[in-house]
Amino acid sequence: MLGIIRIGSGRMRNAFLLFCIGVCAGCAGLPAGDAQVASPKNIIILFADGVASTQWEFGRYSSGVLRQQPFATTDVVFRQGTLGLASTDPLGAFVTDSAAAGSAMSTGVKVVNGAVSITPDGKPVRTAMEVAKASGKRIGLVTTATVYDATPAAFSVHAKSRSEFQSIVDQYFALEPDVLLGGGAEYFLPATAPGGKRKDGKDVIAAFRAKGWQVARNSAELKAASSAKVLGLFADDDMDFEIDRDAAKEPTTAEMAAAADAVGSRTSRTLDPHPAVCPMAAWCQLGIRRRRRIGCRWRDPGRACVSAGR
């Protein structure tokens, strides 16, 4: 199984949990002690968008000072796992955006800023989720941003421009991820429906339901979900900051990750409204989820966890 969870990007809202159930990229660089351990069957990527060493240190510091608890990413993953760096700069520019960075990490190919896993000459490059799907793995995607935001999309589908939201949603429908959780209901619904923005009149939520997906629109419905395939859309646009979240309407990142796990992207922009509190709250949720996932590589040779930022 391949799963991806994303945190951060924009309003630190893009907690991105890509349940990449089975992508070889996560198998590289294992510690020497694990050299003879078989390649993991399942891979979970926890991706913090807009995050570099400064944000990881902020998470470690705030977790220790405000929560009196270790920060799983720095205190467990970085210390006990394998630490590496990847080049995510785009073609033709010095500073990358989420689309180009996510595409580089998902495909291993550099693209221009704004492009989603597609080369300058218009050729799509196989994404992490497409590789996993073709290998017979179940796949899932969890984000606190819109599910069609640049980073989740880059790990999954293709677009010449990250703003092709309707096309990205249509590609999700064709890709058929087993789990798809986050915000962005507006481009699943026709413009004639409340909050809808689709121009073709299609109700993609209804189409997913007719195809066999259980649909959850709030925390209670997600908690009650029992299907092997779940579509959860908890906001018309991005989901709220952790400190602003209505618990009845929107589940936490940890709750979405747990729900996705049971079935089988919040940083750079978040720094604007509440410079410390919003990132810290989102980091706590990421730390909680990572703490629950941590040890999966050491306790379960069949599962690998990849903590990533860009």
Residue 193 clears pLDDT 50, i.e. is over it = yes
Q: Is residue 205 part of a domain?
A: no
What is residue 251's predicted lDDT score, i.e. its pLDDT? 95
| Domain-embedded: residue 245 | no
Which of 42 and 203 is assigned the larger pLDDT? 203
Q: What is the tens place of the pLDDT at every residue in 208-230?
A: 999 999 999 999 999 999 999 99
Taking the C-alpha atoms of residue 176 and residue 139, their distance in angstroms, rounded to an integer, is: 8
**Domain membership flag for residue 259:** yes
Listed in sequence order, the residues at least 6 apart from 13 whose beta carbon sits closer than 8 Å to its beta carbon are: 144, 145, 183, 238, 239, 240, 241, 265, 266, 269, 270, 282
Question: What does pTM read for this prediction?
Answer: 0.81
Asked if residue 6 is part of any domain, the answer here is yes
Would you name the residues annotated as active-site residues?
Answer: 98
77 pLDDT band, cuts 50/70/90, is: confident
* Residue 200 domain flag: no
Residues listed for the chain: 310
- Count of the separate structural domains present in the chain: 1
Residues 126-173 have pLDDT tens digits of: 999 999 999 888 999 999 999 999 999 999 999 999 999 999 999 999
Distance (Å, rounded) from C-alpha 271 to C-alpha 12? 7
- The domain that holds 113 is classified in CATH as 3.40.720.10
pLDDT band at 300 (very low <50, low <70, confident <90, very high): low
Residue 60 lies in a domain: yes
> 150 in a domain, yes or no?
yes
48, part of any domain? yes
The pLDDT of residue 46: 79
Domain that holds residue 273: 2-30+43-181+250-309
